[in-house]
Structure 1
Amino acid sequence: MIMFCIRWVLFFICFLGLSSLKAQDNLTGFLQPQVAINYDVSNTYSHNFSLAHRGYFIKNGDSGYEARQIDLVHFSKFSLSDNQSLAFGVQYRFRNIFEDESDEIRLTQQFNFSKRPFVVRLGHRFRTEQRITKALTVHRFRYRFAVDFPLKGEVLNIGEPYFIGTFENLLSVAKSNSPEYDTRISGQVGWQLQEGLKLQTGIEYRMEDYASDFPQNVFFVLTSLQLSL
């Protein structure tokens, strides 16, 4: 049953991505490697630092690699209980060094809660964001549903794989602009390489501004290395 669900999620993402190839003008593909460090200050307070690079492998229907941005992110998380937390984040997006676009500062407020029926963990995340550039401030409202579980047995042991699937909806609003609605779906497989060290890789499909006359299809190949201290 678990493997069937994984195959279905990955097949669905690939189907959406391949279907969008019929309209090359609105298809964009990105490679996005990331490194993240989690650090516990106390039992209820922790930090997360991450560095991610994003580059095109499909742009305007043409294939080939082109750097787009670097993201530097920090989150402070406060645990309210075993399955609930609040987090506040700040992000700086370096884009001007690669493209003729403004750099961005992003502020994030987040509430997360989860539950674990049997071996499966279900997560609900609510976020508000302020994306600040020289030209505009965009307010975003996000909800993400996530599911993750080990692929061997009931407990994740060193050297064993696990699966994470997510589905997210976003609303973006800004002064003098029409609201923008986005949907994202992703599937990733990870490995517990050693205690406190995980490697994840997978794919994500985004349909951006899907209520407009010309929605954008965006396809990501994701890789992340996560270290918990």
Structure 2
Amino acid sequence: MSYTKWVSFLLVFLCIHTMMNAQDNLTGYWQPQVAINYDVAPLYSHNFSVTNRNYVLNDSEVQLSVRQLDVAHFSNLKIQDNQSIALGVQYRFRNAFEGRGDELRFTQQYNFTKKPMTIRFGHRFRAEQRITKSPTIHRFRYRFTMDFALKGETLNMGEAYFVGNLENLLSVSKMASPEYDVRLTGQIGWQLQGGLKLQTGLEYRLEDFSSGVPQNVVFLLTSAQISL
């Protein structure tokens, strides 16, 4: 096993270890997602997704209740074999579940990937505008990703693969101090027949970590992605 694969497994271990020790200000969610990808032209594609976020641990109490529902669309343009730009729009339904107000979000994205050997590396840059009744929040995100087949050097139909992410976020607005977040994710996926991918894994978020009371958030992620 290569050095990079050991680093990837270490990433997952650190994620789980950190979550087990993040007992203060801990919130837990289960977040299932369904996404559809389809090509409009050789270099242009669309993505639609529906994501449901549910509490499983809130204020140190175990519960299962809906927090929000997100509906999103991305238009993706490939500018080189390993580079793309995208524009996205998302609507977050939260008022119906918690009375906290809905959110409209616009996203601009640049993505760059490289696969020197058997492991693919990705760099994603995003700028977002989160529009609610409060002043607009501008958020800037950088995500580093690595993924690889868990058996052999290439991914065959029905075999498993690993995806690991490390993301940093900065949120700024007129009425609040800057907020810094970090997210660590590890997922296992399977490439199946008919363009179907299934993924499941864990994500740990340390939100507003520069404040006196940072928030620890844990996600159980499950997703189904269909490419038409």
Normalised by the size of structure 1, how large is the TM-score? 0.96
Q: 1:142-180: CA deviations, max 9, x gaps? A: 000000011111221111000000000000000121000
Unaligned runs of 5+ in 1: none
Other-structure match for 2:188: 189
Letter in 2 for 1:33: P
Q: Please show how residues 23-38 of structure 1 align to structure 2 within 5 Å.
A: 23=24, 26-38=25-37
Tell which deviates more after alignment, 29-38 or 130-139.
Answer: 130-139
Letter in 1 for 2:6: F
**Contact between 2:135 and 2:175, CA under 8 Å: does it hold in 1?**
no
Other-structure match for 2:16: 14
SS in 2 for 1:14: helix
User: C-alpha displacement at 1:6, in angstroms?
Assistant: 4.2
Percent of residue pairs identical: 58
Letter in 2 for 1:203: L
Q: Please show how residues 1-229 of structure 1 align to structure 2 within 5 Å.
A: 1=1, 4-21=6-23, 23=24, 26-229=25-228
Q: Structure 2: how far apart are the matches of 1:4 and 1:144?
A: 20
Q: Structure 1: how far apart are the matches of 2:156 and 2:7?
A: 22
> What CA RMSD, in Å, does the superposition of the two structures yield over aligned residues?
1.0
Normalised by the size of structure 2, how large is the TM-score? 0.97
Q: Structure 1: how far apart are the matches of 2:118 and 2:151?
A: 10
Unaligned runs of 5+ in 2: none
How many residues align structurally? 226
**Contact between 1:158 and 1:195, CA under 8 Å: does it hold in 2?**
no
